[in-house]
Amino acid sequence: MTNKLKALIATTATILLFAPFIADAAEVKSQNNIYVPAGETIDGNLYAAGNNITIDGEIKGDLIAAAQTITVNGRLDGDLIAAAQTITINGEINGNVRIAANSASLNGVVARNVNFIGNSIALGKNARVGWDLLSAAMNTDIMGVIDGNVYGEGDNIILSGKIGKNFSFLSDNRNRNITLAPQATINGNLTYGEGTNINIQDGASVAGEVNPVKQESKSGSKAMNKLWSIIYSIFAAIVIGLVIIKPGRKIALGMNNIIRQQPGMVFVWGLLTFLVVPMGALILIFTIIGAPLAIILLGLWLMMLWIGKIITAIFVGQTLVARFSRGEENSKTLTVGLMIGVIILWLLFAIPFVGWLISLAATCLGTGALILLFTSRNS
């Protein structure tokens, strides 16, 4: 993987982390369905969280959003920074697009870069990207025009559009298939890992060199694999968090209050759960009757530890949102808080030597809040 691709990934992570705090907030919306109708203009940034977000009007700043579905038919003067199940862009964005989604569809115009993390991204025939595309998608389908470079990862890449500069999918992925349809045009170099299955159909045009490259060194591959695992774990945590808070907003707020009011007690209960449950399961394994129970207990324990991290992420993110927006914590800020908290904590977890301690603390804090909330409701 090239230094350019590494830089783009790092830039994406940095923007996703700090953008909500360095931009001037203009409006915050949080409800099931958020709609900015045609003819309406928002002067500044829009922070939005809900199930469905549709923008038919104009936003003079950035759109920072989290939802199940996000559709932009209007115009953004700034960036789109979002996480959702499905994201569709039919309008005009004069900044960058930095998104995480299961699937994304781009049919409009993006003046600068598009950075995508998720399962699939499709650029329609009318799509145009002014600068570069970074795709960390399993499936990438490009039918439109990209004036700059394309860098990416993934298994299935289809190009039937036009690339202004270079087209690069460098890692050695023997399951990868790159197809250049007859309409495809690359005005720079085509570079791909030597294990890639490449299919250049008659009529496809590559102005530069066609370069298969050797697999990176083991140390380099390990570093890249770790980086990608961090990116995907962030995306997975956000998606799981959205599933958790959709039916349980009041419960999440209750656990936030417990962490704030009794942080020491919460941590102790979380640490006890972390240590005692596997010991109890180990004892049960040596009994014939208790073995199935031990397996179930360990499964629930692992699930609780994972959810505990997300609970702590919601607490951290929502606290920061309330502080920087000068508002009170409420159910409307949970989704935005989830996004911010997950990105911050998961990047901290990746710090060498001390990341595991931060991860342990976050796990114990969230798990303890879950235990105390459950026991208080059943006492």
What band does 25 get if pLDDT is binned at 50, 70 and 90?
very low
Q: Which of 57-61, 173-177, 199-203 has the lowest mean pLDDT?
A: 173-177
In terms of Cα–Cα distance, which of 340, 270, 365, 363 is closest to 15?
Answer: 340
Residue 300 has pLDDT above 90, yes or no: no
End-to-end CA distance of the chain: 55
Q: Helical H runs in the chain?
A: 3-22, 218-245, 249-261, 263-285, 290-324, 334-349, 355-377
Picking from 101-115, 235-249, 359-373, which range would have the lowest pLDDT averaged per residue? 235-249
**Which tokens is 86 given?**
């499905």
Burial 352-370 (b: 16+ CB within 10 A, else e): eeeeeebbbbbbbbbbbbb
Using a 10 angstrom Cβ sphere, with 0-12 exposed, 13-18 middle and 19 or more buried, the burial of residue 182 is exposed
Confidence of residue 8 (pLDDT cuts 50, 70, 90): very low
SS3 17: helix
Whether 26 shows a pLDDT value over 80: the answer reads no
Give the pLDDT band of residue 217 (cuts 50, 70, 90).
very low
Other CB atoms within a 10 A radius of the CB of residue 307 amount to 17
pLDDT tens for 224-255 read 556 667 777 887 788 778 777 766 677 787 88
Average pLDDT, the chain: 82
Segment 195-212 shows an average pLDDT of: 92
Q: Which of 219-228, 271-280, 305-314 shows the lowest per-residue confidence on average (mean pLDDT)?
A: 219-228
| pLDDT-based confidence at residue 20 (cuts at 50, 70, 90) | very low
Among 43, 35, 107, which Cα is nearest to 65's? 35
Contact 163, 187 (CB under 8 A): yes
Tokens representing 324 are 């920087």
205-206 β-sheet, strand order: 41-42, 58-59, 75-76, 92-93, 109-110, 128-129, 145-146, 162-163, 185-186, 205-206
From 178, 190, 182, 184, select the one nearest 150 (Cα to Cα). 190
User: Taking the domains of the chain in order of start, what are their residue ranges?
Assistant: 3-216, 219-377
Question: Residue 104 has which token pair?
Answer: 């994304």
CB count in 10 Å sphere of residue 210: 14
Residue 349's SS3 state is helix
Give CA–CA dist 252/152, Å, rounded: 36
Q: How many whole angstroms separate alpha carbon 26 and alpha carbon 64?
A: 11
